[in-house]
Amino acid sequence: MASGWAADGAVQEQIDTTVNDEVARVRQSIGQGDSARFCEECGEEIPLARRNALKGVKYCFACQQEIDKKLNGHALFNRRGSKDSQLR
């Protein structure tokens, strides 16, 4: 039974969409292929230990931290169905 403006299953649909979006984001971030020898952002050499530990690494540790900060700033929850996004 739907209540108000929401359709039946709307809450579960929002949860599923949030989980699926995060899974897709994480799958994209998993490295593939050979690791780069030099950072694509700053040009510094990527340490051999990092290249061996992470498959397909493209950035040095410092640059990767900055990239992760930018990505994590807006991946906290699904804004498509949140009340905050509807009020703005």
pLDDT at 54: 86
32-56: pLDDT as tens digits: 888 999 999 999 999 999 999 988 8
Mean pLDDT along residues 71-78: 60
pTM: 0.53
Q: What is the mean pLDDT of the chain?
A: 81
Q: How confident is the model at residue 9 (pLDDT cuts 50, 70, 90)?
A: confident
Domain ranges of the chain: 10-74+81-87
Percent of the chain with pLDDT over 90: 43
pLDDT at 75: 47
Query: DSSP assignment of the chain, as one string?
Result: ---TTPPTTHHHHHHHHHHHHHHHHHHHHS--SPPPSB-TTT-PBPPHHHHHHSTT--S-HHHHHHHHHHHHTT-SS-TTS-HHHHH-
